[in-house]
Structure 1
Amino acid sequence: MRTTQNFDTGKLIESVPNFLSSYTNVNGTKLHYLTGGKGETLILIPGYPETWWAYHKIMPALAENYQVIVVEMRGMGQSDKPMDGYDKKNMAKDVYELVTNLGLRKVHIAGHDIGAHVAYSFAVNYPDKTSKLIMLDTPHPDAGMYNLPMLPILGADYVYPWWLAFNQVKELPEQLLEGKMNVVIDWLFDNLLKNPNSMTTFDRAVYTSAYNDKNAIRASNAWYQTIPQDIEDSKTYSKLNLPVLGIGGSGFEMLKMWLPNVATDFKVEKIADCGHFILSEKPNETAELIIDFLR
């Protein structure tokens, strides 16, 4: 078993210049977030199995022209890990109350992976608070997820998403994986990146440290266990009229099929030769697309 390294959040933040760490109580839970830069506000939400560190390569570039707020959603990193409230509509309410607490009138919002689910839910439930939405490699859950193959397809170049089903199981994953989350984290990065070396040993250790105890595993799995509710909520949403950008590596085709169903003003950009973790693998290209869209 790999020895788990504990990381001081303050020391990590010191490696990203001019960002400050803060906490706020919202919607019955405590959120951790980082703030840096000046200008219009851009909220960034990470996904599984990452933390705010997912954005560390692009935070300084974005902060040159925007007030960047990186939010660790409920169940992630230094934020609280309550027993419930993990449907994305409720997690969007967490972000809404953060925006309200900070006195922000309108924000741009971006999310990757599960964070993209929350970002979309924020935009569709609080359009008056949203200027532009950016979906990074992942659409929000809809009924089409029930058609995802859970078994390998013979001869197909396809990484079947077994973890979507595994994370639905309550109590068992944390019993199996406490102290060994590096096994899952390494597998995901090795198989969902075109260049696994773009996720360094240090990066992997940061994420392993964040997910290695029972509470963290339980809470992060709860993001998946609420997907059936997220799908039902999606059936009630109207099309977005605000500008939406989808940026996809391996998720490009999914975004391309999904966005016409949920938005009237959208575009989709493909990052070539890139897997799912575009922030790690192609940070410069991702940052440039975000900046061009917001500009």
Structure 2
Amino acid sequence: MTFPSLKSLVGKSLAGKPIAGKLAAAAFVAIVSTAAPAAAQPATTTVAAQATGDAELVASLPGFRNADVTVNGVKLHYVIGGQGSPVILLPGWPETWWSWHKIMPELARTHTVIALDIRGMGQSDKPADGYEKKRLASDVHELVKALGYAKVDVVGHDIGSMVAFAYAANYPDATGKVVMLDVPHPDAELAKWPLLPTAGTFGDRIDEDHAYAWWFAFHQVKGLPEDLLAGRQDIEQRWFFRYLMKDESKIDARDRAVYAAAYAGRDAIRAGNAWYQAFPQDIIDDGTYATLGMPVLALGGPGYVWLKTTLERKATDLTAYKIAESGHFIAEEQPEKALKYITDFLK
């Protein structure tokens, strides 16, 4: 997912009406059609040449293993390794547990690390419903209990950051500390984001003061994204990596092959969009949550202002940092900085 910032979004309203699917789809088609010809074709040969399976990926991380657990009637895939107090790592769209691979080995020196594919992601099941962040948090809680833990620290990025907040809000007694990367939980302000960008501010790189999250609307549409993207999902992913990163090379060819393969099919695209389609219910749920009392760390790239100002209203023990020279994908773009902040915070 990702986010506007920010100053350009404050006080603007969509009058409570849903964004029209045709307008959102048109925006996506326009972006794809204006891409360079070489970038407009799926990188099928690159994907096919890469080892994208979880077995091959985990083999590159000594001390980690793949595992599955069935909770709430859904099979969840996770990767576990290390020793010490447990830390749950929750990824975001359009990625998988692999988005944490640059920090997992070092974090595992002092913690038992559990990197989870949430409901709808990677090798986890993709049911027809249950994509509200409260429900996803319930999945995490059941996983925690199945692993025999009474309390865990939770670290989330993007959609995973929303789930981390929902976990802490719904299961405070089972939460140690919370780390949220670049995105807060949906709240009433989300319904005020503008349909159109501010004139002259929308290009192929994010303007942090005028971020334009057109895909929030596009992903509300049911069926159409699957028709447009099945087998071509890497086109959309390449656009987002370019738009949201400071240095695109930090997500390399292998990483991209992993993420393209993970979202190749219609079910994967549908499930990923379902995280966005749950936002209206997430906003309702947010209105019922008490202020978080446990320590919360916010690490922001382009979404820093949005994340920090939101959490200042929702957490009593907040520490926030802007990660220099990082776009949205902090754990991959600046893993050393992210790791230091996270390990210092979790001590």
TM bracket, shorter-chain basis? over 0.9
* Aligned with 1:258 (options 281, 298, 310): 310
SS at match of 1:138: coil
Matched, 1:92 2:133: no
Q: Which residue of 2 aligns with 1:149?
A: 194
Q: Which has the higher contact order (CA 8 A, sep 6+)?
A: 2
Number of residue pairs aligned between Structure 1 and Structure 2:
295
**The 10-residue stretch of structure 1 (142-151 or 78-87) with the greater mean CA deviation from structure 2:** 142-151
Q: Which residue of 1 aligns with 2:66?
A: 21
Matched, 1:74 2:119: yes
Distance in structure 2 (CA, Å) of the matches to 1:274 and 1:69: 24
SS at match of 1:286: helix
* Aligned with 2:287 (options 229, 232, 235): 235
**The 10-residue stretch of structure 1 (282-291 or 268-277) with the greater mean CA deviation from structure 2:** 268-277
Letter of the 1:273 counterpart:
E
Matched, 1:246 2:287: no
* Aligned with 2:85 (options 34, 40, 59): 40
Identity %, equivalent residues: 51
Q: Which residue of 1 aligns with 2:32?
A: none
Q: CA RMSD in A?
A: 1.0
Q: Which residue of 1 aligns with 2:43?
A: 2
The offset of 1:265, in angstroms, is: 0.7
Distance in structure 2 (CA, Å) of the matches to 1:153 and 1:16: 44
Q: Which residue of 2 aligns with 1:193?
A: 245
* Aligned with 2:157 (options 98, 112, 116): 112
Structure 1 spans left out of the alignment, 5+ residues: none
Matched, 1:212 2:264: yes
Structure 2 spans left out of the alignment, 5+ residues: 1-41, 202-206
Distance in structure 1 (CA, Å) of the matches to 2:215 and 2:307: 20
Letter of the 2:254 counterpart:
F
Q: Conserved in 1, the CA contact under 8 Å of 2:52 and 2:254?
A: no
Letter of the 1:249 counterpart:
G
* Aligned with 1:131 (options 156, 176, 180): 176
Q: Which residue of 2 aligns with 1:174?
A: 226
Structure whose alpha-carbon radius of gyration is higher: 2
Give the TM-score taking structure 1 as reference length.
0.98
Deviations 1:15-50 (CA, angstroms, capped at 9, x unpaired): 111111100000110000011111110000000000
Distance in structure 2 (CA, Å) of the matches to 1:243 and 1:198: 30
The offset of 1:260, in angstroms, is: 1.4
The offset of 1:292, in angstroms, is: 0.6
Distance in structure 1 (CA, Å) of the matches to 2:228 and 2:219: 12
Give the TM-score taking structure 2 as reference length.
0.83
